[in-house]
Amino acid sequence: MGIEIERKYLVTSDAWRAAADGPGLLIRQGYLASGRGCTVRVRVRGRDAWITVKGPRTGATGAEFEYPIPHADAMELLDSLCEKPLIEKTRHLVSRAGCVVEIDEFHADNAGLVVAEVELASEAQTLDLPEWIGQEVTGDARYHNSSLVRRPYSQWARVE
C-alpha cells in the first residue's frame, strides 16, 4: 500500500530562494474526482505525467498511489476532463537537515500563495524548520490543492 506522510506550512518570506536548487519546475495538475476525502489527480511536470489516487488523511498520513501515464494522455485529461481552474505552480526544492523541502509557488487563480511541504519517514519525525517556515496548515483543508480548484486563493478575503 502506498503511504504518504507529509506536513505543509505557509512560507513567510523569500529567504528560501537563496537555498533553492535551480529555477524550479512548472507543474500543471487537475482533478478528475474529489470527495469523501479521496482524490484522483492528473499532474504534468515537463514531459513527465502521472495519475495519482489519494485517500483520506489521518493527521499527516494518507494513502497515495501514483502511476506514470503518457504525456499526451495527461494533456488530454487536463484539457477535457479535469475540473477547472487547473492548479499551476512552480515547485522549488530546498535541502535542509537531511530533508527535502518542496516549495510550491502558485500561479494564475492561486497567485500569491506559497507553501512548503516536507515528506516524512514517520509522523513522529522531528524537523529542524528554517526561519522562513511559518504556520503549519497540514490539517487545514483550504490549502489542499483539490480545495484550491473549488475556491482559489484569489477568492479568499484574507488568510486566517
**Catalytically annotated residues:** 31
For the range 38-46, what are the long-range contacts, defined as Cβ-Cβ under 8 Å and sequence gap of 24 or more?
39/146, 41/145, 41/146, 42/69, 42/74, 42/77, 42/78, 42/82, 43/74, 44/71, 44/74, 44/75, 44/78, 45/91
